[in-house]
Each structure stands twice: as structure tokens, then as C-alpha cells.
Amino acid sequence: MSAQAAPAATAPVVTARELSRTFGAFVAVDRVSFEVAPGEIFGFLGSNGAGKTTTIRILCGLLAPTSGSATVAGFDVTSDAARIKTRIGYMSQKFSLYTDLTVDENLRFWGGTYRLWGSEAERRRDWAIEVAGLAARRRTLVRELPGGYRQRLALGCALLHRPPIVFLDEPTGGVDPEARRRFWDLIDDLSVQGTTVFVTTHSMDEAERCHRVALMHAGRLLALDSVRALKRIFPQGTLLEATCPRPAGALEVLERTPGVIEAALFGDRLHAVCERAGMAPVLARALDDAGNGPAAVRAVPPSLEDVFIRTIRDAEAGGRS
């Protein structure tokens, strides 16, 4: 399985080499290697327990790796964690603001932990307030803010000291789609300005907005590439989408049909991966024959979710490397 980073034009800001972390007998991160280029939006995609947060915590110097090595901004995570902490911003999965302090007080405090002082601190606070769109609510207690504002304020706090790299651990959990979209606009802006964004998510939509996506499953990095390149694992026309009256019963029918590699249920639709293109009529007939008609089958472009499911199945069928 290819887990190699694309060659970066400049020196990578994050490198991981055979990084592993175990908790007792549980392997949370299993020999993971990758590199992140400056200014890149690097997505870590995986379900809960895939090892995303553990990897981020190792990179932020909060957790020591069991084996392997990693560098962030040129510093080793094991021996130079203190220096890494001055050069990164981190938004943890849990909410990281003090809800009993005002917007301004939170910014003052987080700036203070990075030794921001005087006019520079003031400029950065103004910047963060503007980014979060909270100009009129500087003196509002954070607990009175809606989730979307809190998320952007938390990001502002993590960026006060102008870190070249920012780690965002599932930053948009529990936020409505509009706030989520605005948050990702911010991430795009950061990237354009040269900040490296390392973001974990289990949302396919968000992963689509990353420059490159690493697929994590059970502690292992299964694939790493741009979204477009990842989708090429399906040759043109081999991914079919079927709609029929009883989708749940149709899964077995499709899996039994010769020429179908695998099938999966996507809500009220089914996706089938076929050995060759042009199999839509075959599948439609098979469903009709099984009494699950009328069925409509057509070729669709693969979504990231198709890629994710396929990659995991391949990895599990192919055994461990």
C-alpha cells in the first residue's frame, strides 16, 4: 500500500518515520510515516479510534511515541517538545476556551501563555477578534456565544503567536454546516498565507477540502494522496449506484452477481464496485429478477467515502504488511 508523501518542493514542516504508540496491548498508532509540506492543508481522515488524535498528540509533544520518530518545524518531538510548543498552535478535540471568561479575557490569557505583550499582543487580539467576527462582543462571556463563534475564537487563540503550523483535532464537531463552511474558508486563508494546517476529521466533506488526505484505520496509515489521486483506485465507469424499493435486501443480491467485487449501502442507495465498466444493465436485471424492481443503476464518480471503504476492505483482505 502506498503511504509515501509526494515529494515536497521545500523542506517538510512535519515528518513522521515509523511512528508507533501503544497503550498496553492496544496499538493506537502503528508504524506511520508521512511528510507535510509548508502551507499544505493536510487531512487526517478516519473513524473514532483510528489513531488520529494520538498521532496529533505525539506531534504536539503531549505524548511520547513508543517507537519511531517525528519532527515538527525541524525539532524532534521526543527531545525538543518545549521548542515545538512555541511554534505550533493546537486546537484540541475538547473545547479549549474558558467559558467563564469573556472573549477578550480569553485572548489575553492565551496570548500571555505565549509571552505576547504590549502592542503586539493588542494587534494580534484585534486580528483574532476580526477573524472570529466578534468585534461587537469582546466583553461577552464565551459561554454565551454560539458554537460557530467559539470555534473560530478557539482557532484565533491558537494562532495568536503566528505559529507556522497549526494542529486542529476535529475542529468542527457539533457546529452547523454554515459555520463549518466559514471555518473552512478560514483554513483556506491560512494556507494561502503559508501556514501549514494539520487537521483531523471523520467528515468526508471536510476531507475533500484538504490538499492531501491520509486515510487512517486501526492505527495504520492506509493511503495518502490528493483526493483526486485517491479516487483513481476506481477505473472509469466501474463504480455503480443503484436505487431500488428495498435497498437493505438488495445488498446480498448485488454481492452474488458475477463481476461485482463488492457492494455497500449508502443510506437509501447502494454502491457496487465492478471488475469492468458497462455493467449497469446486468445489475438492474439482477435486482429485477430478485423481485426488487424497478431498479435504476448508473455509473457515478467515486466519493471519498467509496475510496475509504474500498481501501479499508483491501487492507483487511490483503492482511498486514
Partner 1 sequence: MIRRILAMTVKELLQLRRDWRTAGTLLGMPIVLLLIYGYALSFDVRDIRLAVVDLSHSRASRDTVQSFLSSGYFRHVATIDDTEALDPLFDSGAAQAALVIPAAFADDIAGGRTTELKFVLDGSDSQTASTILGYARQIVASLTPGLYKVEVEPPIGAAPLVWYNPDLKSSIFLVPGLVAFILMVTTVIATTLAVVREKERGTMESLRATPLAAIELLIGKTLPYLLVASLSATGSLTLAWLLFDVPVRGSIGWLAVLTVIYLAGGLGWGVFLSTLAESQQVAFQIALLSSMLPTLLLSGFVFPISSMVQPLQVISHIVPARYFIAALREVVLKGVGPEVWWNDALALVAYGAVVLLLATIRTVRSL
Are residues 134 and 164 in contact, defined by beta-carbon separation less than 8 angstroms? no
Q: How far is the CB of 83 from partner 1 (least distance, A)?
A: 9
Report the sign of the C-alpha dihedral through residues 310, 315, 318, 321, in that order.
positive
**Residue 111 sits in the site that holds partner 1 (CB under 8 A):** yes
Q: How far is the CB of 92 from partner 1 (least distance, A)?
A: 4
**Residue 92 sits in the site that holds partner 1 (CB under 8 A):** yes
Which listed residue (36, 41, 60, 250) binds partner 1 by CB under 8 A? 60
Which listed residue (58, 97, 222, 223) binds partner 1 by CB under 8 A? 97
**Residue 73 sits in the site that holds partner 1 (CB under 8 A):** no
**Residue 266 sits in the site that holds partner 1 (CB under 8 A):** no
Would you call 9 helix, strand, or coil by DSSP?
A: coil
By CB under 8 A, the residues from 179 to 238 that bind partner 1 are: none
Are residues 307 and 294 in contact, defined by beta-carbon separation less than 8 angstroms? no
Q: How far is the CB of 161 from partner 1 (least distance, A)?
A: 9
For partner 1, the closer of residues 95 and 127 by Cβ is 95
Q: How far is the CB of 107 from partner 1 (least distance, A)?
A: 11
**Residue 128 sits in the site that holds partner 1 (CB under 8 A):** no
**Residue 114 sits in the site that holds partner 1 (CB under 8 A):** yes
Are residues 149 and 141 in contact, defined by beta-carbon separation less than 8 angstroms? no
d(CA 170, CA 168): 6
Q: Among the candidate windows 23-31, 103-111, 129-137, 215-223, which touches partner 1 by CB under 8 A?
A: 103-111
Residue 270's nearest CA partner among 312, 228, 298 is 298
d(CA 87, CA 81): 10
Q: Among the candidate windows 42-50, 84-92, 124-132, 195-203, which touches partner 1 by CB under 8 A?
A: 84-92
Q: How far is the CB of 79 from partner 1 (least distance, A)?
A: 16
First to last CA, the chain: 8
d(CA 200, CA 190): 16
Cα angle at 8 between 4 and 13, to 5 degrees?
A: 95
Are residues 196 and 14 in contact, defined by beta-carbon separation less than 8 angstroms? yes
d(CA 139, CA 298): 55
Q: Among the candidate windows 89-97, 125-133, 220-228, 295-303, which touches partner 1 by CB under 8 A?
A: 89-97
d(CA 222, CA 311): 7
For partner 1, the closer of residues 90 and 184 by Cβ is 90
CB atoms within 10 A of CB 260: 19
d(CA 270, CA 277): 17
Q: How far is the CB of 180 from partner 1 (least distance, A)?
A: 20
Pairing of β 260-266 and β 239-243: unpaired
**Residue 100 sits in the site that holds partner 1 (CB under 8 A):** yes
Could you give the string, one character per residue 131-150, with x where binding to partner 1 holds by CB under 8 A and - elsewhere?
----------x---------
**Residue 82 sits in the site that holds partner 1 (CB under 8 A):** yes
For partner 1, the closer of residues 60 and 304 by Cβ is 60
d(CA 216, CA 231): 16
C-alpha cell at position 33: 510515516
**Residue 113 sits in the site that holds partner 1 (CB under 8 A):** yes
**Residue 117 sits in the site that holds partner 1 (CB under 8 A):** yes
**Contact residues for partner 1 (CB under 8 A)?**
60-62, 82, 85-86, 88, 90-101, 105, 108-115, 117, 141, 167
